[in-house]
Amino acid sequence: MGVADEVQVAKLPAAIRTRRLTLRRVRLQDADDVFSFACEDIWMRLLPDARQPYQQRDAERWVARRFLADWPTEPTWATEIDGRMVGWVGLNIEPEHAQAELSYAMRPDLRGQGLATEAVRAVVDRVFLDSPLGKVWARVDTPNAASIRVLEKLGLQREAVMRRCLVRHGELIDLAVYVLLRTEWTPRPLDS
């Protein structure tokens, strides 16, 4: 069995617990929570495909896509506090390349508390513990200092900047690529 076959059968957990958070599969009932924070200006600026004005049905579509996505290759965990979705962490796993692209978001009023770092760290740890993937990477727009801090705290290193590579709200923007290889990952005791 090759690496691609192993990745396809790797079992990432549907639920992960950390000190302050529960990460679980996205549920259709999460649409109201997503809408409550996704329509804020700061969120709208960061999403490449967000329509303005962001409406309830946009949140319902996003949740439905994440709910119906193929878990072995496109898992998305809702980040939950006190029973409410306050963010998410997702992966786009490329079994043929033994890597996964990481994406994440946190409700704007909860930023700066280390919650995104805690959630993303939990997922990255599970990826390297539960699968043969050799690399986790993320793209981030270069002015997004908070997201860059999350990646750097977790040991991801800037590998490239793709200049003027994405149109967001009518403007060409730069994206930085951050990478963490399995050989650079430091195992830690899990919070769960």
pLDDT digits (tens, 9 = 90+) for 21-37: 999 999 999 999 999 88
Residue 153, domain member (yes or no): no
Residue 62, domain member (yes or no): yes
pLDDT digits (tens, 9 = 90+) for 112-148: 999 999 999 999 999 999 999 999 999 998 989 999 9
Domain at 25, CATH number:
3.40.630.30
Q: How many domains does the chain have?
A: 1
- Confidence category of residue 167, pLDDT binned at 50, 70, 90: confident
Q: What is the pLDDT of residue 51?
A: 67
Residue 187, domain member (yes or no): no
Residue 21, domain member (yes or no): yes
Alpha-carbon Rg for the chain, nearest whole angstrom, is 16
pTM of this structure: 0.89
Residue 66, domain member (yes or no): yes
Whole-number Å distance between alpha carbons of 183 and 90: 22
Residue 150, domain member (yes or no): no
Domain extent for 74:
3-136
The dihedral of CA 60, 30, 14, 79: what is its sign? positive
Above 80 in pLDDT, residue 75? yes
Residue 143, domain member (yes or no): no
The dihedral of CA 7, 21, 137, 37: what is its sign? positive
Residue 77, domain member (yes or no): yes
